[in-house]
Amino acid sequence: MSQNTLRLLLDVDNRFQRDRDQAPAFLHRRDRRFALDCEQQGISPTAEHWLDHMRRLSGPGSEEQTGRNVEKQWRRINSGFAAAGAVFGVLTMAGLLFYDGGQRINITVLLAFVLLQLLLALATTAQSLMGWQPWRRLSKRLIPQSQASALMPLQPILMARAGHTGGVAFALTGLLTLFILLVIQDLAFGWSTTLDTAAASYHRLVQAIALPWSSLWPAAVPSQELIEATRFFRAAPASQGATPEQWGNWWPFVVMLWITWVMLPRMLLLGFSHWLTARKARQLLHSHPGMQALLYRMETPTLDTGNQHNDASDLPDVRTQATASDLCNTRHLICWAGAGEPELPQQLTMHDSQILKAGGRASLAEDDLVLATLAKDLAQETSPAVILVTRSWEPPTGELHDFLEQAMEQWPEGSRVMLLPLANNANERPKNHLIQPWLRFTERLPEGFATVALLPSAPDTPYPTGGLAP
C-alpha cells in the first residue's frame, strides 16, 4: 500500500461509519459498479482504490481528514516524547559523568544504568506485544474518545512507539553529551564494588559486554592491566599506584557501551514498532466488519427481489402498474447472460435475426461492442427496436440496469427495448410470479424506453397480450 496503513484504516473506518445511514440496496449497487469498473481497467479493487473512488464521488471539499488528523496528533505525541527524552538524556549523562576531581567515575554504576535502560526498552516492546497498557491514563488525556473504536487495538503499539522515540532521543543526546564532556573535561574512570570481586572476574564481565565490538575496535576493550590498575576504594581513592593517564583510558569502552547497549537497541525496537504498527493496522483493515461487507457487495451481483420494506416479516411488494406488451417485429436480438441457450424460441429464429450476446460471462469490453454495433444499425431504421432475451427465473441485476442506461445514451432517440423473459421451455410462457420482477424493473427505467413482452401463446391457449406485432 502506498498510503500510510494506519491512516488508511482510519479513513476507511470513518467512511464505513458514514455509510451506516445509507440504504443497503444503494451501497450494493455503488460498490458493485466500482468492482466492475476495476475489472474493466484491469486493476485490483483494493481498499485504497475504493477510498479514492469514494472521494471522487463525494466531490472536492467533502473529504474528511480523519486519518491525517490522527497521524498529526500522534506525530505531536512522538515529538513530545522525543523532546522529553532529549532533555533527560543530557541531564542523565551529565549526572553519570559528574567529576569533581576527587572521586573517579565508577564504571560499575554505568554498567548498572545501561542494564536498566536495556530492560526498560525490552519491557516497552513486551507490553505492546501482550496488549498491556501502562500508559492508559496518559493516552485517555491525549487521544479523543471518538477515535477509541478504531485505535483501541493499536493503542499499546502506538504508545510503545512513542516510548521508543523518546528512548532514541535520550540515547542520542546522552551520547552527544558524553562526547562534549570528553572534550571539555579530563574525566577519570575507575571501577569499584562493595562485593569481594577479583579483577580477573571483572575483566571477564567486561569482555563479555564488549564482545559485539571487540573485533571492530580492540582499543575499546579494557585489558587486564587497565582493570587491575584502575580499581579504587572509598577509603583510599588514590591508592593502587595507578598513574593518572590510565584513568581516562576507559572512555572508548564507555562510548561503545552506550552505543551498543543503549542506542542501537532503542533504534532497532523503534523500527520494529513501526513495522508492527503497519502489520497490525493491515490485519485490522482486512478483518474490519465493514470491509467484509464491502467485499461481499463487490463480489455479489445486485438483485431486484421486489421487497422494499425493512422488516423481514413483511411480504414483498408485488404491486406494479406496468403490463406486458406485444412483441414487436425486429431483427435485432440480444441474449443476456446466456439466455436462449441451447436454443431460442421458434418465433424468433424464423426471421433473419441479428443475434448478439452480452452480460454474464461477457466482458465489459464485449458489452460495449454490442452497444456500439446496434447503435450503427438502429440509426438506419425509422422505428428502432431491440429484443433483449432473459431468463424469467433469474431476477434483474444491477449490471442489466447499467447496460440499458448506456444503451439509452448511445442508441438513437426513440429506440425501444423489449425485455423477453423466457421460461425453462423456451416455447412456453413463464409463470406470472416470474414476470412481476421484470415489470417492476421496467418502472425504474425512463418511461417508454423498455417494456416487458411475451411470446405469442399456442393456438389452444389464448394469451391476453396478443401475438407478434407486424
pLDDT band, residue 256 (cuts 50/70/90):
very high
* 313-365 pLDDT tens trace: 554 555 555 677 777 778 888 998 888 777 777 777 666 778 888 888 888 88
Check residue 303 and give its pLDDT: 61
**How many other C-beta atoms lie within 10 A of the C-beta of residue 310?**
8
Check residue 383 and give its pLDDT: 85
Could you tell me the pTM of the whole model? 0.61
* Contact between 190 and 206 (Cβ < 8 Å): no
pLDDT band, residue 8 (cuts 50/70/90):
confident
* 117-158 pLDDT tens trace: 999 999 999 988 888 777 667 666 666 554 546 677 888 898
pLDDT band, residue 236 (cuts 50/70/90):
low
Instruction: Please give the share of the chain, as a percent, with pLDDT higher than 90.
Output: 23
Which amino acid is located at 102 in the chain? G
* 407-447 pLDDT tens trace: 888 888 888 898 888 887 777 778 888 888 888 888 888 87
Residue 280 CA: distances (Å) to CA of 1, 69, 75, 133, 311: 14, 20, 18, 16, 38
Residue written as grid cell 499499546: 156
Burial class (CB in 10 A: 0-12, 13-18, 19+), 43: exposed
Annotated domain spans of the chain: 66-286, 332-452
Check residue 72 and give its pLDDT: 83
